[in-house]
Amino acid sequence: MPTVEYSIYAKKSTILALAQGDPGFAEFHMQYQDQIVLPAPLPIDFWDDVIVIAEKEPALSSAVKRCRENAQTAQAFAIPGLPEMVVLIAALFLLRTHIKIYRTKDGKWEFLVEHNSSDDGTLQKIAQILADLFKN
């Protein structure tokens, strides 16, 4: 497997593993699994940005660091054929204290940055990617 592919796969696996480590993820996943339909693949940078934000979270930073330092650990959590939609929901779950998602009365998705712990614009970039992706 090429290094780039493995890196993306490991990042997606790490995001999913981090979300699944929280008991609230199952309910969050159930809430959105039938509501959000991914109209196009997410850019590769999206996954990098989610990892950057997760690394800044005190409750997640050590888990992210362990996964990033040990590629074997990330591989152990990997699920063959990892569905991108499931990983997107996991990413939204990890970002839920920073980016609020909701549906407007006309059915459009809105992504609002409410808590910006990052001065580098990463959250705004993630929110813009999501907003562009889910335009109706």
Over residues 21-42, mean pLDDT = 87
pLDDT at residue 117, rounded to an integer: 60
What single-letter amino acid sits at 33?
A: Q
pLDDT at residue 56, rounded to an integer: 86
CA distance 24 to 113: 21
Is pLDDT of 1 > 60? Answer: no
pLDDT at residue 3, rounded to an integer: 42
Over residues 16-43, mean pLDDT = 87
What single-letter amino acid sits at 77?
A: F
Over residues 97-124, mean pLDDT = 79
pLDDT at residue 73, rounded to an integer: 53
CA distance 49 to 97: 15
CA distance 118 to 16: 22
Site of tokens 């008991």:
23
Q: Where are the domains of the chain?
A: 3-133
Q: Which of 116, 120, 87 is nearest to 100 (CA)?
A: 116
Q: pTM above the 0.85 mark?
A: no
Alpha-carbon distances of 61 from 3, 18, 52, 69, 130, rounded to whole Å: 24, 10, 9, 12, 24
Q: Per residue in 74-97, pLDDT tens?
A: 555 555 566 888 899 999 999 888
Over residues 101-125, mean pLDDT = 78
